Amino acid sequence: MLQAPRPAGARRGCFVSRPNLWRLRCGAARFGVMNSHAPKIRPVIRQLDEATANRIAAGEVVERPASAVKELVENALDAGATRIDICIEEGGKRLIRVTDNGCGMTAEDLPLALSRHATSKIDGSDLLAITSFGFRGEALPSLGAVGRLTITSRVQGGDGAMIAIAGGRVTPPRPAAANRGTIVELRDLFFATPARLKFLRTERAETQAVAEVVRRLAMAEPYVGFCLSADGREIFRADAEQGELFGALTTRLTRIMGSDFVDNALLIDAERDSIALTGFAALPTYSRGAAVAQHLYVNGRPVRDKLLTGALRAGYMDVMAANRYPAVVLFLNCDPQLVDVNVHPAKAEVRFRDPQAARGLLVSALRHAMAQSGHRASSTLGQATVEAFRPEPSAALAPAPWRPDRPSASAIRTALDLQDPAGGFAEAPSARYDAVEDGAPEDAPLGAARAQLHENYIIAQTPDGLVIVDQHAAHERLVYERLKAQAEANGITSQVLLIPEIVELPQADAARILSIADDLAQLGLVIEPFGGGAVAVREAPAMLTRLNAPALIRDILDELSDQGSSDRLRARIDAVLSSMACHGSVRSGRRMTAEEMNALLREMERTPRSGQCNHGRPTWVKLRLSDIERLFGRQG
């Protein structure tokens, strides 16, 4: 028994167990009950006043200044605005002003706009027929409950009006000069709930959060112009784009995500079961160290949904390293009846009527696009390679500018001293170079092999540069894709267990795992009910020689609970195939003939996903001739 500090009133030498000590510390033992939250006296039920209720409700909608900006910008988009200007001060804590050129509001509309659960977006007859951003009628009343809010608006052909609310207290509307549209000004956010101010981050962090919200909304609305200013300085601007949708979207993403993303992204355009998926997904070799470049939209609404992020991981499952994250901008569109956006006041979560249909479309579209990309790899790899070739400046001396001067006499003597009398070098180079004869086509995508360095890197010449191929990583992917194709064509071979393994589970978990028994059987794992909450594992994939069935079943259940589906078994099988491919591929250190090297290049051009190895690393990089010439100062 654990000896713990003696509580007040206990006899000397008394031992207190850890559970009893916990109860004493919580005060539950003094009341003779086990619930530490039990009150000392019977509580009295009270009706909260409207101001308090509004401040509590505001906590669900307005978490930080970025939340307020999101609600106001979405209101402007719902009003049909084509130009939205956002101005903040002190990270949005002192001032948030959103100006739009939308349809505006009349003087009669303004008091209703500040009433809770008053909205022009829906009539309440069908909560699934929602085509607008806002619909709950909570944003403006919530902002007015925790800050000083002023709304100035005018409709086309009408008079302007203004209304103010501070800490929940509304003043009557009055006439005001205004252009068509609406200006919403929020000052002193959380002045009515000062405790909330303590939980805000620094002004810099809050400003970055606001900018991220504006950027995410701007990506989905290429025909709307956005401008964000912070403390009098413009930090983001995206003018309205012109042209057809994909062209406008490409231009908008180039402005926001950068040209590198667009240059290294795959176009996604797929449809299944009345659900359409469009957008761009970056190549696996163009990845990020965190999920900061994953932008998902459902019917134009930016969301952060576990189902969709899990589908992203599944789509990039065997082409990306475990610690890397894909960069995507994807728009999933469907009938509003098929998705419920009324899950949380922040409206960042959604629920699909058929979640597996949405997930399956996303996974299959990503895998198909990457398969179609063939041997393509990120163009930024070549830029990184060129930078790696640049000499690092000395810490002691600043690098002298390059000048095409004649070498000095001392430099010539030094160079000659390095040679031996036979004309060779005094010290042999570490790399072995074997010239390859002509005969292979240089106009092929990966060019013609010209040399092999260090018995691992193939140098191929292209019309506009050269390609460096990691022979082991490239052949590993080729063998892996071949093994996967064979497994898919012939099925996963299963092995009957001599003694079935019984896994005890809660009845709810047993029912959940048995609901996907057919899917698991296709992967070689055969399970059956064994009474109560037990599950019997009858057969297992033959290639998984050391299978811990209980651990695998529980891992699959964890993914089912978290994401609604599981790729754990598929990932285990792919890992075995990947290991087999690694051992069966060309090893580093093997000298290859010219025919073998060119055959490898041609097979890479025909094989899907050959631009990255099984672990997500690139298999080849390309250097443009212009970049090489620039390294040697042959170009300005």
Concatenate the DSSP letters of all residues of 320-376 into one string: S-TT-EE-EEEEEEE-GGGEE-TTSTT----EESSHHHHHHHHHHHHHHHHHHTTT-
The helix (run of H) or strand (run of E) holding residue 499 is strand 494-504
Residues 465 and 490 in one domain: yes
Strand-strand pairing, 225-230 and 83-89: parallel
Strand partners, 153: 161, 182
pLDDT tens digit string along 350-370?
Answer: 889 898 899 999 999 999 998
> What domain range is 586 assigned to?
431-636
Alpha-helical runs (H) found in 432-548: 471-490, 507-514, 517-522
The per-type count for the chain, helices as H runs and strands as E runs, is: 21, 24
Residues 71 and 205 in one domain: yes
Average pLDDT over residues 193-221: 92
The string of DSSP codes covering 173-187 is EEE----SEEEEEEE
pLDDT number for residue 439:
57
Most confident option among 329-333, 390-394, 518-522: 329-333
- pTM value is 0.75
Q: 600 with 469: CB under 8 angstroms?
A: yes
Provide the pLDDT confidence category of residue 414 given band limits of 50, 70 and 90: very low
Q: CATH code at 536?
A: 3.30.1540.20
Name the residue among 470, 451, 430 with its Cα closest to residue 587: 470
- Torsion over CA of 191, 197, 201 and 207, rounded to 10 degrees? -10
Instruction: Give 543's contacts (C-beta < 8 A, 6+ positions apart).
Output: 492, 493, 573, 576, 577, 580
Domain-located, residue 246: no
Residues 496 and 441 in one domain: yes
552-to-223, 297, 541 alpha-carbon distances in Å: 49, 33, 12
The string of DSSP codes covering 185-211 is EEESTTSSSHHHHTT---HHHHHHHHH
Average pLDDT over residues 419-429: 39
214: tokens are 């504006």
Residues 597 and 457 in one domain: yes
Q: CATH code at 362?
A: 3.30.230.10
Q: Is the pLDDT of residue 213 over 90?
A: yes
366: tokens are 């990503």
More reliable by pLDDT, 16 or 303: 303
Residues 456 and 605 in one domain: yes
pLDDT number for residue 198:
84
Q: Is the pLDDT of residue 222 over 60?
A: yes
Domain-located, residue 418: no
Residues 233 and 292 in one domain: no
pLDDT number for residue 268:
94
Count of all residues that appear for the chain in the document: 636
What is the Cα–Cα distance from 45 to 43, expressed in whole angstroms?
Answer: 7
Residue with tokens 């000004």: 185
Residues 76 and 194 in one domain: yes
Phi, psi for residue 280 in degrees, rounded to 5: -135, 140
Provide the pLDDT confidence category of residue 37 given band limits of 50, 70 and 90: low
Q: 501 with 550: CB under 8 angstroms?
A: yes
Q: 386 with 627: CB under 8 angstroms?
A: yes
What is the Cα–Cα distance from 78 to 97, expressed in whole angstroms?
Answer: 17
Residues 29 and 61 in one domain: no
pLDDT number for residue 210:
96
Residues 180 and 295 in one domain: no
Residues 135 and 216 in one domain: yes
Residues 271 and 123 in one domain: no
Domain-located, residue 542: yes
pLDDT number for residue 402:
41
Please identify, among 185, 207, 237, the residue that sits at the C-terminal boundary of a domain: 237
pLDDT tens digit string along 583-626?
Answer: 777 777 888 998 999 999 999 999 988 998 887 888 999 888 88
Helix-helix angle 65-78:139-146, to 10 degrees = 140
Please identify, among 176, 206, 237, the residue that sits at the C-terminal boundary of a domain: 237
Domain-located, residue 34: yes
More reliable by pLDDT, 136 or 446: 446
Q: How many domains does the chain have?
A: 4
Provide the pLDDT confidence category of residue 126 given band limits of 50, 70 and 90: low
pLDDT number for residue 57:
66
Domain-located, residue 626: yes
pLDDT tens digit string along 535-560?
Answer: 999 998 887 877 788 888 888 888 88
pLDDT number for residue 429:
40
pLDDT tens digit string along 477-495?
Answer: 998 888 888 888 887 888 8
Domain-located, residue 574: yes
Residues 73 and 34 in one domain: no
What is the Cα–Cα distance from 635 to 627, expressed in whole angstroms?
Answer: 9
